[in-house]
Structure 1
Amino acid sequence: MAETLNSSAPHIHGATTYDDLVDWGVQSDAIEGVSKSSGRLLFKGPDNQPETGIWVCTPGRWRLSIPREELCHFVAGRAIYRSDDGEVIEVEPGTVVMFPGGWTGECTVIETMRNVYMLV
């Protein structure tokens, strides 16, 4: 059994390789390349809080603005996040990042990345 989304505690087994993903389209605000996103929503609460799931994104570079606090546990791939104030965050498998709401900058995906996220 790979997923049980309607459980009292929704869960996905094998989140690092789970492949029943939904096409979420092209990443908006592209700067370079055409990054495509896919994923699987695990849970979305009232007023969309919290929202948690798996997100996969192919190589490319784009602007981003994170609307609410977002915890990301990167389990595959490599990417570089650059904040508007110049901070550089390099991610690879095993990296966990807590982005504060309102964080702005850009993301460059070097190798298709996968992360398990929670947006609150």
Structure 2
Amino acid sequence: MSTAPHLHDASTRQDLLDWGPQPDAISGASHSTGRLVHKGPDNRPEVGIWVCTPGCWRLTIPRDEFCHFVAGRATYRHDGGEVIEITPGTVVCFPAGWTGTCEVHETLRNTYYLTDREPAP
């Protein structure tokens, strides 16, 4: 146990765990792998590495989520019409309750921080 959970080589680390197919697929067969850095009580907050292969699916962000994309290319489309193009170096802070689609064009890799804050009613 570390006083400050950490992983070295987060942008290139290869010893990732199989997290399975991406749920709510629209097209393709996206598959996720990843590695947890930290999970708090009741899995809140959660910090880790996420890698996902090409495909498209619906998503709802359950809690505020900060993402730093270090590889790949994708398009996030909010249900309200906003489009966020992801390339290496993109940083996004998705608010709790964000809904839309994610279309991965080239395998994505990001480091993320999923807070403990629930969406506003």
Superposition TM-score tier, normalisation by shorter sequence: over 0.9
Unaligned runs of 5+ in 2: 116-121
Which residue of 58, 62, 70 maps to 1:67? 62
TM-score (norm 2): 0.93
**Aligned ranges for residues 47-62 of structure 1 at < 5 Å?**
47-62=42-57
Q: Which runs of at least 4 in structure 1 moved beyond 4 Å after TM superposition? A: none
| Number of equivalenced pairs | 115
Identity of aligned residues (%): 69
Task: Report the Cα offset of residue 47 of structure 1.
Answer: 2.2
The answer as to 2:6 corresponding to 1:11 is yes
TM-score (norm 1): 0.94
SS at match of 2:96: coil
Unaligned runs of 5+ in 1: 1-5
Q: Distance in 1 between matches of 2:23 and 2:40?
A: 25
Q: Distance in 2 between matches of 1:75 and 1:89?
A: 15
Q: Distance in 2 between matches of 1:65 and 1:85?
A: 13
RMSD over aligned Cα, in angstroms? 0.6
